[in-house]
A and B are shown apart, each in its own frame.
Chain A
Amino acid sequence: MSPQANNERVGDAHWAELMARIADNRDKNAFSRVYDHFAPRVKSYLLGQGAQEALADELLQAALLQVWEKAGQFNARVGSLSTWIYRIARNRYFDHLRRERVRDRPPPDAWLQQEDEFEREVHGGTQTEVERERLSVENALKQLPSRQAQVLYMSFYQGKTHVEIAGEMDIPLGSVKSSLRLAFEKLRCSLGAHL
């Protein structure tokens, strides 16, 4: 797949190449492209979680600097760059909440982030597969019924608990769980390959 520098919806192979250039050559131009695409989305994510503007800016800066520093740890075979950056942003945000003693909800155990071998084995993906997966998840997202989409959004993007979602949507806890279960199932199926 050839890089399409001017197309915003560049493929995963392109991101992988940019990340390799950052890791190998400390290529600022490559980093600048990664920044342009992901920094605004990371900011959206942080604002959605409820971070104030200044905090969102501070955390997004730290997250993107981490992308620069740890570019060599990104492995395009086990997942897309957006997943890698999502984890960085999520962990930064929830670690911040813990440090500030706002909320004690640690990100999934650190060991989980390190099970590189495990993921490789399961996804076993080439870059094209990784990209196909991502597009297929995005497609499945668009087709979710509205309640499922809303519950998924509140869960992944606002970090709300089942109880909080039930309260806000004024639906029974069991409905929150079943909606989220169904949405997760559909999206998981669209991840495809390993199921």
Chain B
Amino acid sequence: MNMLFHPDDATLASYAACGVERNYSIVLDLHIRECRHCQQRISDADHIGGALLQALPAAPLGQEQKAAVMALLDGIAPAPGVKAPAPAPEEMPKILEVLRNWRQADLDALPWKPMAPGIRRIPIEVPQGRLNLLRIAPGTCLPVHSHQGNELTMVLRGSFSDEIGRFTPGNVADLDDDVEHQPIADRDEDCICLVATDAPLRFRDWLPQLLQPLFRL
């Protein structure tokens, strides 16, 4: 799958090092699974992690500890030389299961709740930060906003455009607090996207403040 817009390299590096909160990694998983460019970045990050491990100072370890490990070796049968099959997917909330198969899933059947004219959403429970599915009617203009913190958006259906470009399904907008943008849903169909943020969005003028409940602020 050819993607035009990827997560920032800094985001990918942190993802590889388990340094992103769950709301972001849910979005990232969906993109990276389809994107060889990003898979390569993750693989590179791991090679860098390996070089870093090599460069770490050795922590002192007792001989008795090594003896304990050596004593266990005989009890362990070698695993076959081929990689184990993928572990069974863990139990996850239904909505996350739907998202995992977002290209096939019936997104219309989800419990969309109206939030503002032209905008519906589904909040998704995550331990940290915020994660929302947004469904934006064709031609709807979201308020100009900047971010206190990060905002990571992946389009699942339709498309939106902003100052950066036109985002189609699978593409990701990775924004931080330096960026102010005004996304507009393209005219042909509803735009459905998955949006992770860690802090409330800041709107620039008073009118869009009415929309703040939209983002559960």
Interfacial residues, chain A to chain B (CB-CB below 8 A): 23, 26, 28, 31-32, 35-36, 38-45, 47-48, 56-57, 61, 64-65, 68-73, 79-80, 82-87, 89-90, 94, 104-116, 118-119, 122, 133-134, 137-138, 141, 152-153, 155-157, 159-163, 172-174, 176-178, 180-181, 184-185, 187-188, 191, 194
Contact = CB atoms under 8 A, between A and B. Distances in A.
A39 to B, nearest CB: 6
B21 A89 contact: no
Most chain A beta-carbon contacts within 10 A, residue among B20, B46, B83: B46
Nearest to A94: B18
Contacts of B44: 184, 187-188, 191
B69 A104 contact: no
Contacts of B70: 28, 31-32, 35
A101 B84 CA distance: 26
Nearest to A70: B79
Contacts of A174: 176-178
Contact of B18 (A107, A113, A116): A107
Given A72-B81, A90-B18, A119 B13 contact: no
Most chain B beta-carbon contacts within 10 A, residue among A79, A112, A159: A112
B48 A188 contact: yes
A106 B25 contact: yes
Contact of A41 (B53, B69, B77): B53
A172 B177 CA distance: 9
Contacts of B65: 57, 61
A150 to B, nearest CB: 13
Nearest to B179: A174
Nearest to A114: B83
A192 to B, nearest CB: 11
B208 interface: no
Nearest to A179: B10
A176 B59 CA distance: 28
A46 to B, nearest CB: 9
A191 B82 contact: no
A153 B54 CA distance: 13
Nearest to A81: B50
B19 A40 contact: no
B54 A138 contact: yes
B45 interface: yes
B47 A133 contact: yes
Contacts of A32: 66, 70
B59 A104 contact: no
A162 B78 contact: no
Contacts of B9: 180-181, 184-185
A26 B127 CA distance: 43
Interface string B23-42: 00100010011001001111
Contacts of B55: 138, 141
B66 A39 contact: yes
A85 B58 CA distance: 15
Contact of B10 (A56, A73, A160, A176): A176
A178 B179 CA distance: 13
B10 A177 contact: yes
A134 B44 CA distance: 11
Contacts of A48: 56
A173 B149 contact: yes
Contact of A105 (B12, B21, B176): B21
A120 to B, nearest CB: 11
A181 B18 contact: no
Contacts of B127: 104
B111 interface: no
Closest CB pairs A-B (n = 5): A83-B50, A40-B58, A72-B81, A137-B51, A43-B59
